[in-house]
Amino acid sequence: MYSNKILGHKNVLNRLKALLLSKRIPPSMIFNGRQGVGKFIVAKEFAKSINCSHEKPQEDNLSLDLFQNQNETEKKSDSNEVKPCDNCQSCKQIEVGAHPDVRIIDSSFQGFLLDEDIKKQKKLKIDTVREFSKYAYKRPLLSEHKVFIVNDADTLTTEAQNAMLKLLEEPPKNTFFILISSQKNTFLPTVLSRCHIMEFGPLSNETVEEILARNNISLDEAALLSKFSGGAVKTALDMKTIMEKLQKLDTSSTLYPFKISSMLPKESYLAREEARLILNILLTKTHQKWITINDSNQKTDLKNLIKETLKLKTFLNQNVMPTPIIELAASECLKHGITLGFMKKYHE
């Protein structure tokens, strides 16, 4: 599948391309992988490819070839069969979320359906499944196929998953379901057995850096954030937000560690998530400093600091309150000149 909106995931794209060319697309699929690696973008481009009418194709504006091992002749012979043209009515409507036959099922959809605050939609409920099931059994309005992309599908309640079983087992004609997940083990075995699973691995640091740069982040910041990302653009952007929020704190103050902990979100689950990101930033900065140091004693101290920070991270995973963990980690790292300032250099 060709699209200049997608970087990385060569193996997944090759498999999707093969499915498109064979015209044997599984009616129910799970796109599984950590958050922020581009699963939703791939699903959206895949939906475009399924329904693209290839009106007004622009031969001089072929998308970036993501399959380096294919020769130029092969690309020209089948590229229009597997890539969305982005010119036809179908592609344009899918891009802006207005296609009547391509539905995005997520917290926004559920919040609108239930007339509730979108931010409070932590689980996808049975009422949501029942609602989009009605659409699934209706005839398509614009295109030949209907596509339902269920974002954060791993938050479907047990009741909601059970309500989907008939749809997944006996989908309406020309209808496809793509469940986007970061934890496929949350699905019922009966759901997993009915779906074709695509595994998305982490992106390379170089790919994350390029995506960040495309989103108007400076090259220096993009290079730094990519090292913290763990292969996920969302993680890199979350860390950027945290580091910008904390970089103005006075690191010379004895209250510095406590200022950091005081800025954690009030909601416990959000505080724990942000604390985990902060520990990852400190671990990465410590490791980078360890790489640049030549003094054996300092290397040993930094190695011990990494071990201690990792131990604190395990405590965080065991539901220990995040506040004292962050205070202790920040305090110990500060002794070695390691802070959360955004543009701090590792050797400083």
Please check the confidence at residue 55 and state whether its pLDDT lies above 80: no
Q: Do residues 141 and 100 lie in contact, with contact meaning Cβ atoms separated by under 8 Å?
A: yes
Q: Do residues 307 and 333 lie in contact, with contact meaning Cβ atoms separated by under 8 Å?
A: no
In a domain? residue 79: yes
Q: Do residues 127 and 113 lie in contact, with contact meaning Cβ atoms separated by under 8 Å?
A: yes
Asked if 70 and 139 sit in the same domain, the reply is yes
pTM score above 0.85 = no
Asked if 192 and 211 sit in the same domain, the reply is no
- Domain count for the chain, please give it: 2
Residues in contact with 336: Cβ distance below 8 Å, sequence separation at least 6, in sequence order: 286, 289, 301, 302, 305
Asked if 220 and 291 sit in the same domain, the reply is yes
For the chain, give the mean pLDDT: 86
Residue span of the structural domain in which 174 resides: 10-199
Please say which residue of 168, 199, 230 terminates a domain.
Answer: 199
Distance CA 196, CA 44 (A): 17
Q: Do residues 13 and 67 lie in contact, with contact meaning Cβ atoms separated by under 8 Å?
A: yes
Asked if 245 and 172 sit in the same domain, the reply is no
Asked if 31 and 74 sit in the same domain, the reply is yes
Q: Which has more confidence, 270 or 49?
A: 49
Distance CA 297, CA 228 (A): 26
Please check the confidence at residue 54 and state whether its pLDDT lies above 60: yes
Please check the confidence at residue 6 and state whether its pLDDT lies above 90: no
Distance CA 9, CA 42 (A): 9
Asked if 221 and 195 sit in the same domain, the reply is no
Asked if 192 and 246 sit in the same domain, the reply is no
Asked if 69 and 164 sit in the same domain, the reply is yes
- pLDDT value at position 146? 95
Distance CA 263, CA 41 (A): 32
In a domain? residue 169: yes
- pLDDT value at position 122? 87
In a domain? residue 65: yes
pLDDT in tens, 181-223: 999 999 999 999 999 999 999 999 999 999 999 888 888 888 8
For 72, phi then psi, to 5°, come to -65, -35
Asked if 170 and 233 sit in the same domain, the reply is no
Please say which residue of 153, 181, 199 terminates a domain.
Answer: 199
Q: Checking DSSP bridges between strand 28-32 and strand 196-199, what pairing results, if any?
A: parallel
Please say which residue of 179, 199, 219 terminates a domain.
Answer: 199
